[in-house]
Structure 1
Amino acid sequence: MRSFACRLCQSPLFFENSVCVSCGTALGFSRAERDIVPVDDAGTYVDEAGLVWHVCRNLNLSGCTWLAPLEGGQCSACDLTRTRPAEADPEGTAQFPEAEAAKRHLVVELDTLGFDISGLVFDMLSSSEAAGEDVVIGHDNGVITIDLAETDDARRERIRQQLDEPYRTLLGHLRHEVGHYIESQLVTTDERLARCRELFGDDTLDYQAAIDRHYSQGPPQGWEDSYITTYATMHPFEDFAETFAHYLHISDTCETAAAYDLWQGTGSASFRELVRTVWIPLSVALNQINRSMGKGDLYPFVIPAPVLDKLDFVAGLAGTP
């Protein structure tokens, strides 16, 4: 994520700011400009082309600060949410803003990298007692389903430990599931499909059988030599999605580091070189900083050569039709 500053007083801003805490200016996020812009007392902003934009109607519902083209309308990020918790579900409604914030972060990242997500929608579902349903996180034909209970830190940490996962976050779920969507949209030509299968394996293998094997037998011995996580070993589809998620982890963190002068980003290096020369030393340093604070590693993963090849492949899909 890039850094932001108030256009009126130049004070630092954060992505979800609706007001500048220094000068009191009301703010909105312009997706077109990928920047936080000042809005007037009516919540409007006029861009350089003379188009009038309005703060999203969901500001008080989900904390959305994005600009919408119609007064009283909702923004393009909120348009992506197909289903949200019912008002009769107070727990799900309380969890909804955090999930939407993570989704907006994802959308900006995908926009920055040049991925078209115009056919994607999200079902933000609640597995609370009031909702009375079990929600399965996943992707199906352009629909990403998210369990809002994943916003509960204690619950999410308990599941992470039960599944022996080194990392589990709501943003991580979103990045993984959108990886399935990107594969379905972009890995379609004979050349790409052949290269993808060369790297990740035969995706025509029975998926349910792969799930059963994974949860009954666990990952194969020596999985660390070829996969980024144990979950990636389950099926080539999951390997791609896990790899895509880590591509986004790395890209976003490196962009943030460059924005705060932790390294001098040039934009000219290949993704492979970015991992070798920037990400590996940066992640080691961040892990050590976390340890200095008595916390676990920020990035508890190792990137062997075969995984770097996979990362390079998914990075090559950015900005392509």
Structure 2
Amino acid sequence: MQRFACAVCDAPLFFENSQCLACGTQLGFHRGERAIAPLDDDGAYRDLEGQLLRRCTNLKLSGCTWLVREEGDKCFSCSLTRSRPEDHDTTGLAQFLDAERSKRHLIYELDVLGLPIEDRIQNPERGLAFDLLSSVEEKVVIGHQNGLITIDLAETVDSHREKMRAKLEEPYRTMLGHFRHETGHYFEGTLVFSDPALTEDARSIFGDDRASYKDAIKRHYDEGAPEDWKKEHISQYATMHPYEDFAETFAHYLHICDTVDTALQYGLASGPGPNTSEDFGDVVRETWIPLSVALNQVNRSMGANDLYPFVLPPAVIAKLDFVHKLRVRVGHPVAGSVAG
């Protein structure tokens, strides 16, 4: 996450700010400029292309400050949400606000990384969309199918999420992590499986995705992960099926990129970042591992759990590098690389 500053008074701003706390200026996020823009007295901002923009219609519903061309329109991030809680579901709506905040963070990072998003208008069959559902009155299963991601909004509640984390013996569980994981399934479908050569490369690294997913689920929950899973996988869940291995790897790629970029922005780390190195292994070894060790120690100093309780063996780093190089494939090269 980049550092933002108020264009009026230069005070520090944060991604979700709707108003500068120092000078009172109303603010909106411009997706194209990747900037928090000051609004005039009429609540409008004229961008670098001369377009007059206003804030998304969901400002009050979900705290969205993203700018749109027509007053009353939804921004790109909000338009990706296909379903939300009913107006009478006050619990679900409160959770929806937190989930949308995480989704905006996700979309912002995907934009920064240059990973292309097609919505359901561009691609009605496999475009990206979200059902953000309340489980107050019905059971909701988190998952992905043909670009449609379903999220249980109860996962925004710390007590619920911690209960699920402990039950599933996971070292880490966040709402943003859910979005990143499920979006990994979407990008495997759009970027990997759309290219036969890339599909074969992925199968040589993650395993054959044509293996029965139903059988893999049963085996995983009946038998658990193999004893030596840490040699080849980022998590126990990643061992279940090649689909889950890719999605878990993709999620961790986003975890690492976002945290490294933020640390570099704030002067908390040195070394190559995801936008300056062709080899993601260099980012992991030279920047991420020293940073994550330090952050884990800081958390321990506060009596908290490790910020990043994972080990990255060479096989996992190779998988992360595979995801990293997808950016080159889609025409968003890192410094010094050539798109092809």
Structure-1-length-normalised TM-score: 0.97
Cα distance per residue 1:243-271 (max 9 Å; x no partner): 00000000000000011011246543232
**How far apart, CA to CA, are the structure 1 residues paired with 2:306 and 2:296?**
5
Cα distance per residue 1:145-179 (max 9 Å; x no partner): 11100011001001100111000000000000000
The AA in structure 1 aligned to 2:152 is D
- RMSD between aligned residues: 1.0
Change (3 A) 1:278 1:114: same
Q: How many residues align?
A: 318
Counterpart in 2 of 1:217?
Answer: 223
Match of 2:282 among 268, 273, 280: 273
**How far apart, CA to CA, are the structure 1 residues paired with 2:140 and 2:220?**
21
Greater displacement, 35-44 / 196-205: 35-44
Match of 2:128 among 120, 123, 129: 120
Q: CA deviation at 1:221?
A: 1.4
The AA in structure 2 aligned to 1:108 is Y
Match of 1:145 among 143, 150, 154: 150
CA contact (8 A) 1:115 1:319 kept: no
**How far apart, CA to CA, are the structure 1 residues paired with 2:24 and 2:190?**
43
Map residues 1-321 of structure 1 onto 2, 5 A cutoff. 1-118=1-118, 119-128=127-136, 132-188=137-193, 189-264=195-270, 267-269=275-277, 270-318=279-327, 320-321=329-330
Q: CA deviation at 1:190?
A: 2.0
**How far apart, CA to CA, are the structure 2 residues paired with 1:216 and 1:81?**
35
- Please state whether the residue corresponding to 1:205 is helix, strand or coil: coil
**How far apart, CA to CA, are the structure 1 residues paired with 2:76 and 2:41?**
22
Q: CA deviation at 1:69?
A: 1.3
- Please state whether the residue corresponding to 1:54 is helix, strand or coil: strand
Q: CA deviation at 1:19?
A: 0.2
The percent identity for this pair of structures is 58
**How far apart, CA to CA, are the structure 1 residues paired with 2:328 and 2:96?**
30
The AA in structure 1 aligned to 2:248 is E
Q: CA deviation at 1:319?
A: 5.3
**How far apart, CA to CA, are the structure 2 residues paired with 1:176 and 1:202?**
19
**How far apart, CA to CA, are the structure 2 residues paired with 1:147 and 1:41?**
39
Structure 2, unaligned stretches of length 5 or more?
Answer: 119-126, 331-340
